[in-house]
Chains A and B, each alone.
Chain A
Amino acid sequence: MSYVAIRGGAEAIAQSNRLLDAVRALGGDQASIEVEMIERQMPILHGRVLSEGGLYHPTLAALALKQSLGDPLEAAFMLRAYRSTQPRLATTPIHDTSRMRLIRRISAAFKDIPGGQMLGPTPDYLQRLFRFDLIEEDRTMFTSLAREWLGNLPDDAVPATFPKVIDALRAEGLLAPASPQDAEPFDITRAPLVFPVPRSAALATMARGETGGLLALAYSNMRGYGDVHPTVGELRVGYLPILLPHPATGELIEAGEVLITECEIVAMYEDTGNGGKPTLTLGYGACFGHNEVKAIAMAILDRSMQAGITHGPRNPSEDPEFVLLHVDGIESMGFCTHYKMPHYITFQSDLDRLRTTQKKHAQKAEEKFHAR
């Protein structure tokens, strides 16, 4: 008779962990993938981990992908857990993204925009056809790709900064002026969400939300469970200089830069409810890394939740509690996997209830039979 629960757990785990590590090496004489290769050659996946992990640490994000065998949820989770061990040393001021060093910016609202449309690296107009030659890529060809591209660039190819499209809309009075930044932003890493929460809490939660979760909820709004009907005012991808107060003088200094994706969507005007001037409405999305789907989905959800707060939620995507408590990948993935753990105590209790109920059911049926 087996009795597995008394001992063996620790040893089973140790062997399972060893096996998981060995899976990486089953390719035989292949070289171990270098952390820098992951960062450089899988920047989209890498950026997603940075963003969902909520910690801009490129080396650890790449290491997390290596350790997790390429699982973005697990990798983001490792970064998040590491974050819990680190103290909060300083707070940045609110950053002005017009100072971004851009690699891409587009607007779907206007044909021409101040500074011009800049396509940058995008798969949008790529025909999704295989390039079979890349299965065995020529090393010399590969190393010359970037060199040739950079070598042919004129020195003044790209301006240092670009103005923001929505600033032009604001100047014309078509969009309400930015709300004053008087309140301290809500820090979701230091306070739990107790609803209602300020918009800064919603934005921070979505900024490290899981791409697929945000997309699913935003898509429900796009399809008809909601009516945001967004126009992409501007989508930009680039490097944002990060300013931190100097520990001694308090003076702002540039500590480095982070790759981010930012999206501003504009939606149709609504009844302001207070007789104010009708203006277009705005939805905002931003995240670490190059992740346009996430930034757009986040901007749509920001807009839909603001509508929900004004008029009362009519759809899941307009309900801040529904959206914000279900988009975190670390939480949802953790709870999903936890069902694999033993639940035999609770199941035993379930059986006890069912057997007692069945017994009563049978008694009742018998009584009915005799009463006839």
Chain B
Amino acid sequence: MRARRKRRPASYGFGFLDENAKKELRRALMKAVAIPGYQVPYASREMPIARGFGTGGLQITLALLGEDDTVKVIDQGSDESVNAANLRKFFALVCLGVTETTRTTDATVIQTRHRIPERRLRADQILVFQVPYPDPLVVVEANAGKRREMHGAANYARLWTKLYEDMVTFDEITISHRYPTRIAGHYVIDPSPIPRWDVPKLHMADCLYLFGAGREKRIYAVPPHTTAQPLSFSDVPFRVEDFTDEHGKRRACARCGATGTFLDELLAADSVKSYHCSDIDFCTETLKATQCAPSSKSAA
């Protein structure tokens, strides 16, 4: 997508938020980076998009963006999903001079809901997550005060018990997404509703991961080169989503042919299923590469 430069509306300043709010957000971000996985409380501001639509991620992105930044927004892996399109429209309106892109490699800041891009992010890139539930302990403890104590003592016994009970009842750990993940050996985080497929990308990454929960008013981070271990038992390994077909063959994307990506399952009218990459940019780039060099299989 080409760069857009738009006139700033008279009534709203650069980055929408008032400068004191941005300063406070940056302080919370610094603290979050300094204590990997710790949920930093902050005075989340109301945004012109609804709570639950990414206000936490949005506030972080607005506090980060400068005029020389290039921003990408994805929702479910797609730049054109309605919510991603709406957020991008908002950035165009209140962040004059910021370049928009749909290309993962071009972006300096990527705001995401529910996915981590397939392509490994670089040290000069920041991924901002929209977080509905910042606390992984909420599934076992409703009271926020008690949860804070449990985190402080790294007391995750009740989470382990929940995993064990799953094994007893279903022979499987039933947590499908928002998989509890231990950061730098202490705090367990809710990595936002990303699929299990994306969880290993948090481990020893080159880029910075920032998590914003606007409604619950918490910010946390997984800094680069930090360990991120999904909770699992030594005899029950953590497993990502299985995309093998009934013959035991890995399904490929029907559009680009990639066999190493998270796939969307699509139901056609005749109830025939097809599978496509969820990361649209990755899919498009793979398609381009194979079209340019049809003999090359390595692109996928």
Interface residues of A, Cβ cutoff 8 Å to B: 1-3, 5-10, 12-13, 77-78, 80-81, 83-88, 188-196, 321, 325, 330-331, 333-339, 341-346, 348-353, 356-357, 360-361, 364
In the complex, chain B residues whose CB is within 8 Å of the CB of A80: 46
Within 8 A of A (CB), among B164-192: 170-172, 174-178
Report Cα–Cα, A6/B82, bound state, in Å.
11
Central interface residue in B11, B18, B218, by most chain A CB within 10 Å: B18
Report Cα–Cα, A206/B75, bound state, in Å.
34
Whether B84 is near chain A, meaning CB under 8 Å from some CB there, is: yes
Whether B83 is near chain A, meaning CB under 8 Å from some CB there, is: yes
Which one of B150-158, B225-233, B274-282, B291-299 is at the interface? B274-282
Given contacts A85-B12, A334-B51, A346-B114, whether A6 and B280 have CB atoms under 8 Å apart is yes
In the complex, chain B residues whose CB is within 8 Å of the CB of A336: 52
Cβ contacts B195-227/A at 8 Å (1 or 0 each): 111000000000000000001011000000000
Out of A191, A339, A341, name the residue touching B75 (CB < 8 Å): A341
Central interface residue in B75, B77, B81, by most chain A CB within 10 Å: B81
Q: Quote the shortest CB–CB distance from B111 to chain A (angstroms).
A: 14
**Once the chains bind, are A12 and B82 in contact (CB under 8 Å)?**
yes
Out of B44, B86, B144, B195, name the residue touching A348 (CB < 8 Å): B195
Central interface residue in B13, B17, B80, by most chain A CB within 10 Å: B80
In the complex, chain A residues whose CB is within 8 Å of the CB of B132: 335, 338
**Once the chains bind, are B43 and A191 in contact (CB under 8 Å)?**
yes
Q: Quote the shortest CB–CB distance from B151 to chain A (angstroms).
A: 13
Question: Which B residue's beta carbon lies closest to that of A1?
Answer: B268
**Once the chains bind, are B145 and A86 in contact (CB under 8 Å)?**
no
In the complex, chain B residues whose CB is within 8 Å of the CB of A190: 24, 43
Whether B50 is near chain A, meaning CB under 8 Å from some CB there, is: yes
In the complex, chain A residues whose CB is within 8 Å of the CB of B80: 5-10
Cβ contacts B116-146/A at 8 Å (1 or 0 each): 0000000000000000100000000001110
Question: Which A residue's beta carbon lies closest to that of B195?
Answer: A349
In the complex, chain B residues whose CB is within 8 Å of the CB of A81: 46-48
**Once the chains bind, are A196 and B195 in contact (CB under 8 Å)?**
no
**Once the chains bind, are A13 and B82 in contact (CB under 8 Å)?**
yes
Whether B78 is near chain A, meaning CB under 8 Å from some CB there, is: yes
**Once the chains bind, are B84 and A349 in contact (CB under 8 Å)?**
no
**Once the chains bind, are B18 and A349 in contact (CB under 8 Å)?**
no
Cβ contacts B2-43/A at 8 Å (1 or 0 each): 000000000111001111110010000000000000000111
In the complex, chain A residues whose CB is within 8 Å of the CB of B171: 357, 360-361, 364
Whether B115 is near chain A, meaning CB under 8 Å from some CB there, is: yes
In the complex, chain A residues whose CB is within 8 Å of the CB of B55: 334
Report Cα–Cα, A338/B118, bound state, in Å.
25
**Once the chains bind, are B18 and A85 in contact (CB under 8 Å)?**
yes
Question: Which A residue's beta carbon lies closest to that of B265?
Answer: A348
Whether B242 is near chain A, meaning CB under 8 Å from some CB there, is: yes
Whether B53 is near chain A, meaning CB under 8 Å from some CB there, is: yes
Report Cα–Cα, A262/B266, bound state, in Å.
56
Out of A78, A87, A196, A361, name the residue touching B20 (CB < 8 Å): A87
In the complex, chain B residues whose CB is within 8 Å of the CB of A84: 16-18, 21, 45-47
Given contacts A321-B144, A348-B265, whether A189 and B196 have CB atoms under 8 Å apart is no
**Once the chains bind, are A13 and B50 in contact (CB under 8 Å)?**
no
**Once the chains bind, are A341 and B46 in contact (CB under 8 Å)?**
no
| Count class of interface residues, chain B | 35 or more
Interface residues of B, Cβ cutoff 8 Å to A: 11-13, 16-21, 24, 41-48, 50-53, 55, 75-78, 80-86, 88-89, 113-115, 132, 143-145, 148, 170-172, 174-178, 193-197, 215, 217-218, 241-242, 255, 262-266, 268, 274, 276, 278, 280
Given contacts A196-B145, A348-B264, A352-B176, whether A331 and B51 have CB atoms under 8 Å apart is yes
In the complex, chain B residues whose CB is within 8 Å of the CB of A342: 75-76, 81-83
In the complex, chain B residues whose CB is within 8 Å of the CB of A5: 76-78, 80-81, 264, 280
In the complex, chain B residues whose CB is within 8 Å of the CB of A350: 176-177
Report Cα–Cα, A302/B145, bound state, in Å.
20
Given contacts A78-B48, A87-B18, A195-B145, whether A349 and B177 have CB atoms under 8 Å apart is yes
Q: Quote the shortest CB–CB distance from B177 to chain A (angstroms).
A: 4
Question: Which A residue's beta carbon lies closest to that of B172?
Answer: A357
Report Cα–Cα, A152/B171, bound state, in Å.
82
**Once the chains bind, are B145 and A321 in contact (CB under 8 Å)?**
yes
In the complex, chain B residues whose CB is within 8 Å of the CB of A189: 43
Given contacts A2-B268, A331-B51, whether A349 and B12 have CB atoms under 8 Å apart is no
Report Cα–Cα, A18/B255, bound state, in Å.
33
Q: Quote the shortest CB–CB distance from A207 to chain B (angstroms).
A: 15
Out of A77, A85, A360, name the residue touching B172 (CB < 8 Å): A360
Given contacts A6-B80, A84-B17, whether A345 and B47 have CB atoms under 8 Å apart is no
Report Cα–Cα, A3/B24, bound state, in Å.
42
Report Cα–Cα, A196/B148, bound state, in Å.
12
Given contacts A5-B80, A83-B46, A348-B278, 6 further A-B contacts (CB under 8 A): A13-B89, A85-B11, A342-B75, A342-B82, A345-B194, A345-B264
Report Cα–Cα, A9/B102, bound state, in Å.
13
In the complex, chain B residues whose CB is within 8 Å of the CB of A9: 78, 80-82, 84-86
Q: Quote the shortest CB–CB distance from A192 to chain B (angstroms).
A: 4
**Once the chains bind, are A357 and B52 in contact (CB under 8 Å)?**
no
**Once the chains bind, are B196 and A192 in contact (CB under 8 Å)?**
no
In the complex, chain A residues whose CB is within 8 Å of the CB of B278: 345, 348
